[in-house]
Amino acid sequence: MLSNALVPFAVLLALSSAAPSPVDVPVHTIPQSRDDYHIYPTVKLDGSPLDKALINANNGELYIGKPTTAECQEAYPCDTLSNATAIIVSNNGAGAAMDVYVPGGQILYVRKTGELGYTAAHAQNVPSDATQKGFMRVEFFPSDKSAYAAVIFHGEAFLACPLGEEGVYRVHAFADSRTDCTKIEIQAVDSGSEPHAYQYTAPYTVS
C-alpha cells in the first residue's frame, strides 16, 4: 500500500518542447495535499485524434490503442469488475502503482529507455534498469481553459510512440533515441476509491 503521509507543496513546471508535437500547457502547478490519487490515465492533447484516448495496461506495458488485459481469481467476484485500467499516484514520493485488488499489488515504473511498465501480480521486483520514483499528480490552472489535473514524471509530460500498427502507441516518459513520438499529457481522471481490476496481466521478470 502507498503511504498516507501528507506533503503539501507547490512546484514550478516547464514542459520540454523537444518532441515533434509539443503540448501547450501553463507553467504553474499545485499538487493537492492529499497523497494518493486513483486515476483513469487518459490522453490530453487538444486538437489531436489522440485527445481523450484511454491509456491501457496490456501485458506489462501501457498503450494507447490496445485493450486492457486483466485476470481474476475464480474465488473473487470477478463479474463485479469492469477491468478498466486505473492507477494510483502518490504525491508523497512513494511512486505509483496499478490500482488492483491482488495482494502485494503491481508497481508502475519507467525503464531506463523511457517505456512505462508495471510488475506482475505479487511481484515487487522492479526491473534493475527501471525506477518507480518521480510520478506526481498536479493541477493546472490555465487562464483561457478550465482547470485540470495531470500526471507528470520528474516534472515532465509523456510521449506516445508509434509501433507501426495503425492507431497503436506505447507510452514513454522519454525516448531519447526516437524522433517520431508525440508529446502528450496524461490527464488524471478520477476513477473512484475502489480498484476496477483484480490484477492486470504482466509477465514475471527477474531484476
207 touches 92 (CB < 8 A): no
Q: What is the rounded CA–CA span in Å between residue 163 and residue 184?
A: 16
pLDDT tens readout for residues 14-53: 333 334 444 554 554 655 556 689 999 999 999 999 999 9
pLDDT at residue 92, rounded to an integer: 81
pLDDT at residue 175, rounded to an integer: 93
Domains of the chain by range and CATH?
11-200 (2.80.10)
| CA-angle at 21, arms to 20 and 25, nearest 5° | 135
Q: Taking residues 56-60, what's their average pLDDT?
A: 97
pLDDT tens readout for residues 106-125: 999 999 999 999 999 987 78
SS3 helix, strand, coil % of the chain, rounded to 5?
0, 35, 60
End-to-end CA distance of the chain: 21
Least trusted range by pLDDT, from 4-18, 77-91, 173-187: 4-18
User: Which residues, in sequence order, are bridge partners of residue 90?
Assistant: 36
φ, ψ of residue 16 in degrees (nearest 5): -65, 150
